[in-house]
Amino acid sequence: MTHTKLIGERAISVNDEGYLTDYAQWDAQVAETLAKEINIELTPKHWAVLKFLQEQYKNEVALNIRRIGSSGVVDIKEFYQLFPQGPLKTSTKIAGIPKPASCI
């Protein structure tokens, strides 16, 4: 089911878990807002991870923790430090892309 979430003055479509249902609605303000909701302040390293995730999504590459750990962007330990509440689920939500199939 799709819901509407207000971010600034914009209505953003999200699913029951809070993931964007329309990637075209994503921008830096959306990312900042979603991150703040879970007490994450985005640093340049966070942005590098988000960009990597978005590139993988656009290229239809299945995402998982190992792929991110071997990306050269972050190692697995740092990935968990950047996104402590379930790194893959949290980072993909902030990146505006669907929850990976590998996430429960």
pLDDT in tens, 1-53: 888 988 888 899 999 999 999 999 999 999 999 999 999 999 999 999 999 99
Q: For residue 104, is pLDDT > 80?
A: no
**Catalytic residue annotation:** 103
* Closest alpha carbon to 83 in 103, 61, 62, 59: 103
Element (H, E) at 36: helix 28-37
The amino acid sitting at 3 is: H
Q: For residue 57, is pLDDT > 70?
A: yes
